[in-house]
Amino acid sequence: MRRVVVTGLGPVTSIGIGKEEYWDSLIEGRSGISHITNFDTEGYTTTIGSEVKNFDPEKYIDKKEAKRMDRFAQFAIAGTQLALEDSGLDLDSIDKRRVGVILGSGVGGIETLEREHTKLMERGAKRVSPFFIPMMISNMGPGQITMYYGFKGPSFTITTACASGNHAIGESFRMIQRGDADIIVTGGSEAAVSPISVAGFCSMKALSKRNDEPEKASRPFDKDRDGFVIGEGAGILILEELEHALNRNAHIYGEIIGYSATSDAYHVTAPDPEAEGATMAMRLAIEDGGIHYELVDYINAHGTSTYYNDKLETMAIKKAFKDHAYKLKISSTKSMTGHLLGAAGGIEAIATILTIERGIIPPTINLETPDPECDLDYTPNEACTMDVNYALSNSLGFGGHNGTILFKKYKAE
């Protein structure tokens, strides 16, 4: 099997655009959560979210083209541009037939769907934009990227709710391993801080109602957590076959060596009460990587700040790692970024690979009152330094979809 490395990073998040601003915010424990500005939240039980601030699509896309893209596709293009610049790839010298684009998105262009449906109801069918369909469909993240850069390899979207980003990265890893591509642009993009999305999650009682303290609302593993905080943005990575990267003297952040996807087969929204699917996802990713579980140093947890997720992910870690669970460093960066749904795996993979490269564990902020059912080391409130050789990133989605990726510190052999 061919080896797969990470050579470019492009986060677009509420706590920073670009890897350095994003990373600095993570290790400083800076929250990006505030009151929603995208729409009027009067009448909503939750009025807070994690929006990307000061995002100007025209920095990345022609003004006319930007107007014909939903916000999630704009994020995808911006993250790709950042990741490609970071990778140092010379786009004029590579074989674009060997470059793919595989992204995750949970809901695609839902903001466009809402806007055009309102036009239909209020002004009639003839007022619906001719750009509605190509703006709304979720495959247009990868589609726009391929057209923008001329990449002609495999291109598609994976939609598995909150596991979408991890599944996209994992399937990209597999395709490069098999020889289907040499380079894949991957990760996730989402722009779901919209009226109907927030209303739907409010009706499910899934969102935090800590509206008076937005920055403290996302508090994974804390006893007083009361729901997740919805976020938006993109996390784009450049995956590359090792020899291809070495031949161009690329900077290598780290290596992907394992991946797994499992299903709970239990409930549309609730996780399996025995945490079997999440446990199996971690075990299989470690097995795929060919290492012993006691070699894993760090887990970037799914850690949504909901009662059941945090309790059951903790249970899964204990089942997968046995006594070693208490020696692991764990953190949930959602405490700062909120939950980006289909893009969560993308930004969290970036956090994980930087953790390995830089030897700093980002904290789980707002962990003030430990939950007795969540009794592992979640790196509370302050970052810490540690040599990390192997790390997992977990994503667990509605519908019982689980995805785990195993990263390794890169060492030339």
DSSP assignments along 242-271, one per residue: HHHHHHTT----EEEEEEEEEE--S-SSSP
Select which of 162, 167, 244, 374 is catalytic: 162
DSSP designation for 367: -
| Residue in 167, 202, 244, 339 annotated catalytic | 339
* 164 within 8 A of 188, measured Cβ to Cβ: yes
Token reading at 89: 């790839």
Are the beta carbons of 146 and 155 closer than 8 angstroms? yes
Q: What residue type is 91 in one-letter code?
A: L
**Is there a catalytic annotation at residue 202?**
no
Q: What are phi and psi of 153, to 5 degrees?
A: -85, -165
Structure tokens at 67: 């107007």
Nearest to 182 by CA among 353, 7, 407, 411: 7
What is the C-alpha separation between 341 and 233, in angstroms, rounded? 10
In eight-state DSSP terms, residue 44 is -
3-state secondary structure of 371: coil
Q: Which residues, in sequence order, are CB contacts of 63 under 8 Å at separation 6+?
A: none
By CB atoms closer than 10 A (0-12, 13-18, 19+), residue 322 is exposed
> Is-catalytic flag, 401?
no
Catalytic residue, candidates 167, 244, 302, 401: 302
**Full DSSP string of 46-96:** --EEBPPTT--GGGTS-HHHHTTS-HHHHHHHHHHHHHHHHHT--TTTS-G
Cα–Cα distances in Å, from 309 out to 23, 201, 320, 405? 25, 15, 16, 18
Active site residue 339: yes
Among positive and negative, which fits the CA dihedral 263, 265, 267, 270?
negative
| Beta carbons of 225 and 206 less than 8 angstroms apart | no
CA distances from 35 to 69, 196, 203, 336 (A): 25, 17, 19, 14
CA 232 – CA 216 distance, rounded (Å): 18
The residues carrying an active-site annotation are 162, 302, 339
